[in-house]
Structure 1
Amino acid sequence: MHHDIRKHASNITHAYSLEVSSKDIAALSAAAPRILTGSTIAIPYLPRENDDARLAAARAVRRLGFEPMPHLSARRIASLAGFELFVQRAAAEAGVERCFVIAGDPSIPMGPFTDSAALIDTGIFERAGMKVIGVGGHPEGHPVMSTAEQWEVLERKCHNIEMRGMTPLIVTQFAFDADIVLTWLEALRAHGINHPVRVGVPGPASIAVLARYAAVCGVGACASMWSKYGVSIGKLFGTAGPDLFVDRLAAGLTAAHGEVSLHFFPFGGIVQSAKWIEQYRARTDPGL
């Protein structure tokens, strides 16, 4: 691996985050010795869970020595009071200082919030002492917004977060084509959005599982993308890791792309993702 590529590969895996649902906390505990202390653990907002389960997961993440980042799904939140109580309890009980906001899937909101911007606008996050607010990025385009609208909304949200004294963090959907992600990063910076980005990466998993998640999440998985990811279209069995994707991303990154790190979706299991990160870091970081 070329020296500059090794440097970028080492940089983007120096700090990383993992997506871990509350039902996978036991697996996170098992993998904890392999995961860098202080890593951010994003906790998805699952529709069949209540706030107590989400808070228990955040407390467990904190106890394990990691930084919990609960997701908040705007359209699934039933009331302003319930939202405020959750954020206050997350801060008090689990030392939460960062949250990730999304609109959520329901077409009709369960309460007063139609999108993630409405959650930011309440002022509840900064009043509870939140320092970082994560928002979604979509390298392959947004399912319902035009490209122009997508940039405008992202820019407005980031500006609002900053004006409220917090730091915006952009976390992208996972992808299989690193070139698409690099092009999107260039466009992001060209729009004057210079906040840190965590690029979504699928952890090692069976190709069948990767294909299923791609279909559910609306991620492109055509033959050319599979090929760039290192999967032969004639061999859709076995497992695949993100080696080629991360290598290609690292090779394409320059200072102009700004601060970029990785956010892992451990579709094939948390231990498997933690092992992969450990091995990749050993391969690319001469200091390890």
Structure 2
Amino acid sequence: MDKFATPALPDVYRLVDGYSVEMTGKDVPGLLEAREAIPAGTRVNVTFLGNEDLDMRVTAAKAVNDAGFVPVPHISARRLKSQSQLEEFLDRLQQVGASEKVFVVGGDPTTPEGPYDSAYAVIQSGVLQQYGVKEVSIAGYPEGHPDISKDALWDHLGKKCASLREQDLDAVILTQFAFDTAPVISWISAVRELGIDAPIRVGTPGPAGVKRLLGFARRFGIGANAMIVKKYGFSLTNLMGTAGPDRFITDLAELVTETEDAGTVQLHFYTFGGMRATAEWVQKYLARVEA
């Protein structure tokens, strides 16, 4: 398929319309810079990184809310040192109107820093809804996880969805980014075959430098061999260049449309190249589709 070919307009809009983006706790200036380019009401995920503190995360979530977007703060289970730390974070989020939607993930530390060894443990704690949480996003890994077996990933995905359903909490599945649509669409089909009907947000990098993209791919165990990256739309021989997800989104839109019972599938942009660059890229991509 040609890099600039696009599928039928409804196919693209179903995938791209209502996209979500991600920012770090310290990137409030980037959010404000990109504000005019991001549609009002867009979901903005706020990370929970080891080099960020409580005030930084809450300030960022408040900035998202104040800017007219929907904050989705991250909760990194293995970074939580105690239940009281989780409660303090949720309480602070609730005070700034940013606790209704959260993303609960296991997190990077191999050894938990407190009582929660997984996202499932946080969900099972019963603490979330005490602070107004109504929707919980959980992680999906179409290409697997470098440190977790596929069996364990599927087991936890099913248990998390079941627990959220039992607690009357809405679920959203947010995937790690990928360069290849084939494992993504296969994974979506497998999720639906398990009877999980939660909306799926497929992670994809916004436009960024090739070297930067490959660095993140290695960090998260994402396949990045020559055949796959060529299919995505860039070359390993041009590491100084930049790449956008044009071809990935075009192909994925067609595959989702062709897949029976794919359910609700939308995009989540990892803004490795900056929030404004990502938002403006989306505007140009949709304009090209409409032309």
Distance 1:18 1:3, change over 3 A: closer
Structure 2 equivalent of residue 90 of structure 1: 93
Instruction: With the length of structure 2 as denominator, give the TM-score of the two structures.
Output: 0.94
Q: Does 2:115 correspond to 1:112? A: yes
The range that moved more, 123-132 or 2-11, is: 2-11
Structure 2 equivalent of residue 261 of structure 1: 266
Is residue 137–residue 170 contact of structure 1 (8 Å, CA) maintained in 2?
A: yes
Structure 2 equivalent of residue 9 of structure 1: 12
- In structure 2, how many angstroms separate the alpha carbons of the residues matched to 1:135 and 1:95? 17
Q: Tell me how far 1:42 sits from its aligned partner.
A: 0.5
- In structure 2, how many angstroms separate the alpha carbons of the residues matched to 1:222 and 1:239? 17
The range that moved more, 125-134 or 147-156, is: 147-156
Listed as ranges, the gaps of 5+ residues in structure 2 are none
Is residue 136–residue 170 contact of structure 1 (8 Å, CA) maintained in 2?
A: yes
Size of the aligned set, in residue pairs, is: 286
Return the match for 1:21 from 15, 21, 24: 24
Residue type of the alignment partner of 1:264: F
Q: Does 2:148 correspond to 1:148? A: no
- In structure 2, how many angstroms separate the alpha carbons of the residues matched to 1:233 and 1:93? 44
Is residue 12–residue 262 contact of structure 1 (8 Å, CA) maintained in 2?
A: yes
Q: Tell me how far 1:58 sits from its aligned partner.
A: 0.6
- In structure 2, how many angstroms separate the alpha carbons of the residues matched to 1:58 and 1:233? 37
Is residue 6–residue 289 contact of structure 2 (8 Å, CA) maintained in 1?
A: no
Q: Tell me how far 1:47 sits from its aligned partner.
A: 0.6
Structure 2 equivalent of residue 215 of structure 1: 218
- In structure 2, how many angstroms separate the alpha carbons of the residues matched to 1:285 and 1:152? 42
Distance 1:107 1:146, change over 3 A: closer
The equivalences for 1:150-189 within 5 A come to: 150-189=153-192
Is residue 7–residue 285 contact of structure 1 (8 Å, CA) maintained in 2?
A: no
Structure 2 equivalent of residue 237 of structure 1: 240
Is residue 55–residue 94 contact of structure 1 (8 Å, CA) maintained in 2?
A: no
Listed as ranges, the gaps of 5+ residues in structure 1 are none
Distance 1:5 1:179, change over 3 A: farther
- In structure 1, how many angstroms separate the alpha carbons of the residues matched to 2:225 and 2:98? 42
- Name the SS for the 1:253 alignment partner: helix
Structure 2 equivalent of residue 63 of structure 1: 66
Q: Tell me how far 1:5 sits from its aligned partner.
A: 3.4
Return the match for 2:41 from 38, 43, 52: 38
Root-mean-square deviation (CA), in Å?
1.6
Residue type of the alignment partner of 2:22: E
The range that moved more, 98-107 or 167-176, is: 98-107
Instruction: With the length of structure 1 as denominator, give the TM-score of the two structures.
Output: 0.95
